[in-house]
Amino acid sequence: MSPSMVDCKLPTIYLDNAATTPVDPQVAAAMGTCLTLDGNFANPASHTHHWGLAASDAVEQARAEVAAITGAALEEVVFTSGATEANNLAILGVAQRHEPGHMISVLTEHKAVLDPLATLRKSGWKIDLLPVDSEGLLDLQLLEDTIRSDTRLISVMHVNNEIGVVQDIAAIGAIARARGVLLHVDAAQSVGKLALDMHAQQVDLLSVCAHKFHGPKGVGALCVRRRPPLRIGALMFGGGHERGLRSGTLPTHQLVGLGEACRVARESATADNKRITAMRNGLWAQLQDIPGVLLNGSLKQRVAGNLNICVDGVEGESLVMALQDIGVSSGSACTSASLQPSHVLRTLGRSPEQAQASLRISFGRFNREDDVAVAAADIRRAIERLRDMAPRAVQG
Amino acid sequence: MVHSPQVMQRFELPQYIQRDSASAVGSAGSRLAGALVELHLSMENSADNSTENASLRAGFRAYGCPATIASADWLAEQLNGLPVDAATELDRHAIIRALELPAARQHCAALAVEALGAALQNLHR
């Protein structure tokens, strides 16, 4: 614990579920059976004894759960260390199998997509990053118009990690398939929350991340279309695991955690979404009358738990630090002489000043209805306190 | 976003927010840059508006990160009751030491001192 945390009252309500979620106790229990001598501790690749075979069975059960929640076939699930690796494997793996050509993505993507694309740009690939409208949504006509004869891949995230806006993957899939272009979807923020069927939505590559839906950190998957076969290059070598696409001993406990998180989510997503949406909407109803508070992104086309607001006249880091009861994310931090406002909020058309102070408040399965009123009061108090000390020029 | 206890204490409970008007105001920074500090100064025991034997009354208003707010609050505290001529001796190093500001936050102290310089200039006008 840092010195500054010692004397402060620590917030008790966790509202940063878009950053990561607490592991569901059912998931933790399942993982706990895969670590010690009396459990599934063995290497799943060891087929010479019953311990290895049992671990292998547990891993394949987890694979079946990932397949069930994504609509993938069993042999299409490639386990990875998380969504960052899955995104890199998808983008760089496709690039390995083609001469440098053209790829399309979106300005509001996660860095785990933007950075591998930037790497490809250095080796001769042409990359187009499309803008979004003021609601955060992609213009499908613009997407279609941007496709070229040498376009190899479109990469679009299902749910935006900052503003929670949901892109129309089925429509994008239809465009990509009609034009013979591969589609990668970073579904890190949507698996376990929104219905997905990669084949019905004509997705070729789909990234999954366990810790965004109450699974453990350090595990995820890339679902790679097999019919017709899609060949991508590997990034990791040394053993040929996962059909040569991801070498490395399979971490049984992590994969069992991912599988169990999928199972629990499939069971509870409908009820969770209803409750979480009500909490999110309840909070927005209590905040929207504060002058200078703006909602970022579409409220209609949005994942259940996410609320992202800009607050005029206060600075982002101070706003987060002034909150006493809730833990949330801010879009910016004063770590040097110059601020770097969120690239997502700037793309929506927010001014640099507006983008400096944003809060991402994200509810999850373990939030309670009582949290809404506490959060609303805490945010309101923090805004009023900071505005009270701001220069009159900032107050407007 | 880790701050020293000194910064957090001042950020959570600043004592020198200026609420009424003062004789001179100096500002530094900008909203676009993410931090704007105003130092407000008045003179006490001043004969004929002279700085001789006069002491300062100071307050601040600030928009910025916790280190910026704490720097302005610390500086205002030091200025209160200080002879006017001694005010120029306060520099950013004193703030950095007192608040244990890390390298990435030292510009916050510099901003508060810059606002003080502007306020003193206006005071002498």
For residue B5, give the chain A residue with the closest CA.
A4
Give this complex's ipTM. 0.94
Q: What is the pLDDT of residue A2?
A: 46
For residue B30, give the chain A residue with the closest CA.
A394
**Percent of chain A that is helix, strand, coil (3-state, to 5):** 40, 15, 45
Q: What is the pLDDT of residue A395?
A: 72
Of A146, A117, A116, the residue nearest A130 (C-alpha): A146
Residue count of chain A, please give it.
396
A207, containing H or E segment: strand A205-209
A377, containing H or E segment: helix A370-389
Q: What is the pLDDT of residue A8?
A: 60
CA torsion through residues A143, A146, A148, A153, sign: negative
| DSSP code for A211 | G
Q: HSE-up of B32 (CA within 13 Å, CB side)? A: 1
Do residues A45 and A249 make contact, with C-beta atoms less than 8 angstroms apart? yes
User: A393 — phi, psi (to 5°)?
Assistant: -60, -35
Encoding tokens for residue B1? 């976003």
Q: What is the per-residue pLDDT across B57-98, written as a single tens digit (0 to 9) for each?
A: 999 999 999 999 999 999 999 999 999 989 999 999 999 999
Interface test with A, best of B39, B63, B101 (most A CBs within 10 A): B63
**Which positions in chain A touch B68 (Cβ < 8 Å)?**
315, 334
Q: What is the pLDDT of residue A355?
A: 84
Q: What is the pLDDT of residue A1?
A: 41
Is B3 in Cβ contact with A4 (below 8 Å)?
yes
Do residues A388 and A349 make contact, with C-beta atoms less than 8 angstroms apart? no
Longest distance between any two alpha carbons in chain A, whole Å: 75
Is B2 in Cβ contact with A317 (below 8 Å)?
no
Interface of B with A in 44-63 (CB under 8 A): 60-63
Is B65 in Cβ contact with A315 (below 8 Å)?
yes
Residues of A with CB under 8 A from a CB of B: 2-8, 313-315, 317-318, 320-322, 332-339, 352-353, 356, 386, 388-394
Is B68 in Cβ contact with A4 (below 8 Å)?
no
Rounded to whole angstroms, the Cα distance separating A201 from A203 reads: 6
Each residue's pLDDT, cut to its tens digit, for chain A (396 residues) gives 444 444 567 889 999 999 999 999 999 999 999 999 999 999 999 999 999 999 999 999 999 999 999 999 999 999 999 999 999 999 999 999 999 999 999 999 999 999 999 999 999 999 999 999 999 999 999 999 999 999 999 999 999 999 999 999 999 999 999 999 999 999 999 999 999 999 999 999 999 999 999 999 999 999 999 989 999 999 999 999 999 999 999 999 999 999 999 999 999 999 999 999 999 999 999 999 999 999 999 999 999 999 999 999 999 899 999 999 999 998 655 544 445 678 899 999 998 888 888 999 999 999 999 999 999 999 999 999 999 999 998 875
Q: What is the pLDDT of residue A221?
A: 98
| Residue among A8, A209, A223, A334 flagged as catalytic | A334
Q: What is the pLDDT of residue A253?
A: 98
Q: What is the pLDDT of residue A343?
A: 86
